[in-house]
Structures are given as structure tokens and as C-alpha cells.
Amino acid sequence: MNFDFPKITVITGHYGCGKTNVAVNIALKLAEAGKVTVVDLDIVNPYFRTADFGSLFESRGIRLVAPMYANSNLDIPALSFDPGGIINSEGSVIIDVGGDPEGATALGRYGDLLKNRGDLALYYVVNKYRYLTSTPQEAKELLEEIKAASGLSCHGIINNSNLGALTDNKTVADSVDYAEKVAEASGCPLLFTCSRKENLTGISPSMEINIYVKPVWEQ
């Protein structure tokens, strides 16, 4: 699919929904057409963060901005960069926000810089098969908490429902109705469903993605 992402794309969602893999795929897609900066704002969860993909990003010309202690043996939520300079830099900016309200609080620190920008969109990634967001109401309630913590509105829902290595076309197809109901309850459009190409047969709108983020036991 062809989808026009804004200059600043904020990716958030429940822990374990696959938001970081979505963020990585979007960054790689946008890098095919221009400059991209990825900001790792996941200062809560030390696993599955965009900072893990520094070598991949470098090979594609993507700039990575991460907390000073990311990928070290210190799990300290310290930020050491100029957000104003980053969001006003040339090219696209992808911000990967820590899952749940606790992670969105980090984004809220920059609310004055981000609010009311016409070139920014926050997208909420959902996974029907993830604990605590398995119903549209649960997913909607979590989104409301994230919005309150970040101070930003939601501009769209991305359906990333999956069962890891067990995901197939039926797994994904069975999640579309759920994602549509999350979107309806949240007052946000369902942008697309994403998965591997072989899992998207008959599903539209959709975005093909690769799996870069894998469970620790598969690495």
C-alpha cells in the first residue's frame, strides 16, 4: 500500500503489541525516499527497543537518537538530546514511545513542542492477541490513558495483531473486525493491518512488513 506518513510519526501501544517492529518497518520504508531520524523514547522497557537496530539503521542511512544508556548494562531512563532540533530537522522523524501510560509520560515532557503541529500524527498499535487489550474496550481504555499521559491526540489505529511465529492468514483476518471496533470506539480511523505478505491475502488496507524484532529465545 501507499500511505503518506507525516513529517513526525509517533508510534505507541501496549507493551508487547509489536509497536517497535512497526516503527522499524516504517523507518525503513521512509528511508527509501529521503532522510529519516528515529527517536527511541522507550525509557521504560529495556527489551525490544529501536536502539537495538543501530547497525541496520546505519546501513540504510537512518539517524538513530536514543537515551544515553540504551544498550548498556544500565537501565536508567535518561534522555540526552535536543528534541526541538530533532523534530525540526530535515526529513521524517519516527518516535518510538514506550508502551502504556508510563512510557507515554516521557513523550509528555515535550508536549509544548509537539502539540498543535499539523505535521505530526500519533498512531496506536493494537494486537488482539495481547493480554489486557484483547477486547476493543480494553484497547480503547489504554489509549485514553496514553493520550492523557502524552498530552497528544490519536490520529489512527494500526492493526498489528499477531501470534508471533504462529501467525498465519487466518490469525490476521480474524483480527480485522476487532481492529475496526477499536477504531470506532476510539474515534480514530483504522489506517491498515500489517503483517508478512503471505498473511495479508484478502485483507485491505494493509501494509507488508518484515519481522525484525524477535523474542529473546529466537535471537
Which residues fall within 8 angstroms of residue 142, CB to CB, at 6 or more apart? 14, 100, 101, 132, 133
pLDDT digits (tens, 9 = 90+) for 49-85: 676 788 899 999 999 988 654 444 444 444 555 777 8
Fold of 8-218: Rossmann fold (3.40.50)
> Residue 161 is placed in which grid cell?
495483531
Q: Output the CA torsion sign for 209, 212, 214, 219.
A: positive
Cell digits for 106? 516521557
pTM: 0.90
For residue 118, the 8-state DSSP code is T
Q: What is the mean pLDDT of the chain?
A: 86
Of 18-27, 58-67, 202-211, the poorest mean pLDDT is in 58-67
Q: What is the mean pLDDT of residues 171-197?
A: 98
Side-chain-side CA neighbours of 188 within 13 Å: the count stands at: 26
Site of grid cell 488482539:
128
Give the per-residue pLDDT at 28: 96
pLDDT at 194: 98
Percentage, residues of the chain above pLDDT 70? 86
pLDDT of residue 22: 96
The CA–CA distances, whole Å, from 167 to 65, 133, 180 equal: 31, 18, 19
- Residue ranges of domains in the chain: 8-218
18 has a pLDDT exceeding 80 = yes
Quote the strand ranges of 137-189, DSSP E. 156-159
- How far, in whole angstroms, is CA 55 from its chain's centroid? 19
| pLDDT value of position 110 | 81
Give the residue among 191, 168, 154 at the shortest CA–CA distance from 4: 191
Q: Which of 54, 81, 83, 53 is nearest to 67 (CA)?
A: 81
Residue-wise pLDDT tens digits, 104-141: 888 888 877 888 889 999 999 999 999 899 999 999 99
